[in-house]
């Protein structure tokens, strides 16, 4: 029976998490498994990984083959490096103390690297939030400026319209006055002619 160390998907759509399981290679991805040795949540930054290293090493020693993703996870948690050291101990290239010392050195560096990564991520998040807030403030300021400009243009247009209306009213009144004056003049002239004609009789 070919045994695989692989992921079994759980969670909901777009929010997955995985169990790290030992399973028969012929079984379905999310089907039956022999044993669960950890879990993996890629939605967290950095990813949330928990692996039982002793069980993983035991199954690797029995010949279980990890999938590519699980191999990366095991390497991240130091399991593959530990397996490499244990092989050296088995062959006599290293003592157990030397292997433990080398693994401890690697683990300290790994933890430092992980802490640095977390700090960079936090800083990146803060910078992103700051940029977002600044962009929102600028957007609001631009909107208020545009609205103020629009109001100013509206008032100016209203003033011009009122002035134009007043000018048109004044022109109309002037024309009316002129027409009335002309009409009264034309009416007065025939009366004077009649009077001058009737006087000699």
pLDDT in tens, 30-56: 788 899 999 999 888 778 899 999 999
Give, for 183, the enclosing helix (H) or strand (E): helix 96-198
- If we measure between CA atoms, which residue out of 107, 40, 114 comes closest to residue 78? 107
Domains of the chain by residue range: 3-94
Taking the model in full, what pTM does it have? 0.57
Q: CATH for 3-94?
A: 3.30.1320.10
Strands in 65-66's sheet, in edge-to-edge order, are 48-51, 35-41, 15-24, 3-12, 65-66
Confidence check: pLDDT of 193 > 50: no
Q: How confident is the model at residue 22 (pLDDT cuts 50, 70, 90)?
A: very high
């Amino acid at each position: 029976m070919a045994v695989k160390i692989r992921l079994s998907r759980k969670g909901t759509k777009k929010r997955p998490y995985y169990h790290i399981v030992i399973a028969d290679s012929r079984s379905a991805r999310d089907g039956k498994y022999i044993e669960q040795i950890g879990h993996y949540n890629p939605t967290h930054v950095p990813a949330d990984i928990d692996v039982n290293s002793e069980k993983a090493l035991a199954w690797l020693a029995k010949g279980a083959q990890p999938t590519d993703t699980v191999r990366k996870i095991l390497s991240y948690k130091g399991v593959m490096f530990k397996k490499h050291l244990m092989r050296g101990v088995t062959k006599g290239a290293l003592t157990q103390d030397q292997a433990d010392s080398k693994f401890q050195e690697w683990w300290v560096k790994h933890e430092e690297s992980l802490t640095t990564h977390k700090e960079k991520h936090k800083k990146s998040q803060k910078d992103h939030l700051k940029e977002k807030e600044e962009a929102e403030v600028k957007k609001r300021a631009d909107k208020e400026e545009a609205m103020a400009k629009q109001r100013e243009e509206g008032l100016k247009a209203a003033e011009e319209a009122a002035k134009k209306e007043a000018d048109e009213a004044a022109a109309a009144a002037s024309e009316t006055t002129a027409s009335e004056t002309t009409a009264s003049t034309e009416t007065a002239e025939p009366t004077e002619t009649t009077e001058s004609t009737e006087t000699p009789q």
